[in-house]
Structure 1
Amino acid sequence: MCDPALRLYEKALHAGRIARTDLTDAPLPSRTGLAPSRPINEATATARDEVLTAQPGSDRPAGKLQEALANAHTAIRRGARIRHIYQHPARYSGSIRDCLSQVPAQHLQVRTTELTVERLIIIDRSVAYIPASADRSTALRISHPALVSHLIQVYEVLWAQAVPLAENHQATAPNAPVTAVQHSIARLLAEGHVDDVVARKMGISVRTCRSHIARLMQTLGATSRTHLGTLLARSGITSTSTSPHEPPA
């Protein structure tokens, strides 16, 4: 972040607010550029303590995975530990699992969540990167301690709610062997979301989403979407009081 923005932010911390007149001169934090992968990769490779990441979706291009793997090995050689948070569909991604298997287990922890997450990378708890555009083609580098500390807290909350990748994450209701992904899809359907919105929130394609819905219907014996909604309500799968990785008491 540029100095004028930092001065404005520090002034707000002391005053408890920002004067409206100050906002007109407040510059935006600078971006890493049109191709953010290079500076982010360089920063990750120089990590000495810890790399925290949250990754949306269930698939990443092979080239990106190889870059990430190389950076992970470099960071580990420098003594860093790595934690990743993915969305549940990543559990069924062969390319992601293959990449993770090439990282020494004692240096890596991976969890998945049913929540919709946005990309976040935190390096050595001193600098963070977040998307600066909808297509994630540019990134915003954040180094202000207060902002980085806030992002770390957000990450730790996500981490606490996520499920270890090594944990068998399947049953959510008696007599209903519904996977974690299907549980999340069922909850979103129950909230009234249409297929394309469900797919976007889950980070999967509409085709894959509908395939999960079809298997969910088959598992519960539903003959239509309306019937599925009724069965979901009866089964308790969409109940927010039921943990997605523990059977109800």
Structure 2
Amino acid sequence: MDQAIETLAEFHLVDQVDGAENLRSLCHGGPWWRTVHPHLAAARMASAESRLRRRLFELNTRRDSLTALASVYTARPQERAGAAETVEVVDALRDVISLIEQASAECEHEMITCQPGGGRPTEELEQAVARDTALLDRGVRMRTLYQHPARRHAPTQAYVERVVSAGAEVRTLTDLLGRMIVFDRRIAFLPHHQRRGGAVVLRSPAAVAFLCGAFDRAWDLAVPFGAPEHAPVAVDDLRQVILRLLSQGLKDEVIARRLGISLRTCRKHIADLFQELDAESRFQAGYLAATRDLLRDTPAS
């Protein structure tokens, strides 16, 4: 009996009694069934078939869309990976610090840094000492470039003394290409152009190789940090760059910021240059420097 009811229900020829009538059926020990006219059963099957066809159409449409996406996905996997893996913009300083600490811990061969401006903040130097000495203890080569004014910054002098005694190499240059840290010539950290404390993390081999090449050229032109006999050379180099920037028409504020020196120090050098050249204006100083072949090539960014 149950099998017969199940077969009839499958063809929509019977259905259960519901509502108040079903309450009466429950009192007799089970559900009651009633017969359905074959025409009505056929209509119900047609409605179910229509819903099924709509569902099949939706599934086929989605399958076609996924097939089209799959062809794009498999055709350019390198470009897809490159966009996700070669450049990363990090806004928060704490996240930047975490990434640098991770890269430092994974560094095996070399770390190079470029630190434009004058001396670095004391707190930043204190944090760097532990990280950098740990690198040096593992046999990692460390090279750092500062601008010449950092020589006169006491906290930077103390930091350099500690890391150099541990095996680091530090040099100074008049003009640097910009702030950066590179680990194993594999991953580079550059400052965010808008968010203070943020960074751009580069993993593109071509971009990192370009930055390392620029660093190596600047390194070859730089002066070892802390050697007193090199101080006159550093000052001479500084004035050469000031002359070049003056000849380009840059203002005192711009020159001072670019060279990492105070505005007062910059103007003192400019006044000394004017006196040495016997010039009364920037234009005249640039002209006299050019006619006397004083604007020789100098390391620049």
TM-score (norm 2): 0.62
Which segments of 5 or more consecutive residues in structure 1 lack a partner in the other structure?
12-25, 173-177, 245-249
> Which residues of 2 match residues 25-36 of structure 1 at below 5 A?
29-35=87-93, 36=96
1:193-208 to structure 2, matched below 5 A, reads: 193-208=250-265
- Paired residues for 1:47-196 under 5 Å: 47-105=107-165, 107-134=167-194, 136-165=196-225, 166=227, 168-171=230-233, 179-196=236-253
Separation of aligned partners in 2, 1:228 and 1:147: 39
The amino acid that maps onto 2:78 is R
Instruction: In structure 2, give the amino acid aligned to 1:138.
Output: G
Answer whether contact 2:147 2:260 (CA < 8 A) is retained: yes
**Whole-angstrom distance in 1 between the partners of 2:136 and 2:233:** 35
> Which amino acid letter does the alignment assign opposite residue 237 of structure 1?
L
* Greater per-residue helix proportion: 2
Deviation for aligned residue 1:223: 6.5
SS of equivalent residue, structure 2 residue 146: strand
Is 1:209 aligned to 2:269, yes or no? no
**Partner residue, 2:295:** 238
Which of 201, 217, 224 is matched with 2:280 structurally? 224
Whether the 8 Å contact between 1:86 and 1:111 is mirrored in structure 2 is yes
Q: What do the CA deviations read for 1:168-191 (whole angstroms, capped 9, x no partner)?
A: 15259xxxxx53322221221122
How many residues align structurally? 219
Greater CA drift, 191-200 or 203-212: 203-212
The letter of the residue matching 2:131 is N
Q: 1:116 to 1:50 in 2, by over 3 A?
A: closer
Identity %: 33
Equivalent AA in structure 2 for residue 63 of structure 1:
E
Paired position in structure 2 for 1:175: none
* Matched residue, 1:19: none
Q: State the 4+ residue runs in structure 1 displaced beyond 6 angstroms.
A: none
Q: Give CA-to-partner distance per residue, 1:90-133, whole Å, 9 cap, x none.
A: 23333222210111446211222233421111112221111222
Q: Which has the higher contact order (CA 8 A, sep 6+)?
A: 1
Tell me, which stretches of 5 or more residues in structure 2 are unaligned?
A: 1-75
Partner SS for 1:103: helix
Range 65-74 or range 128-137, more displaced: 128-137
Q: TM-score with structure 1 length normalisation?
A: 0.73
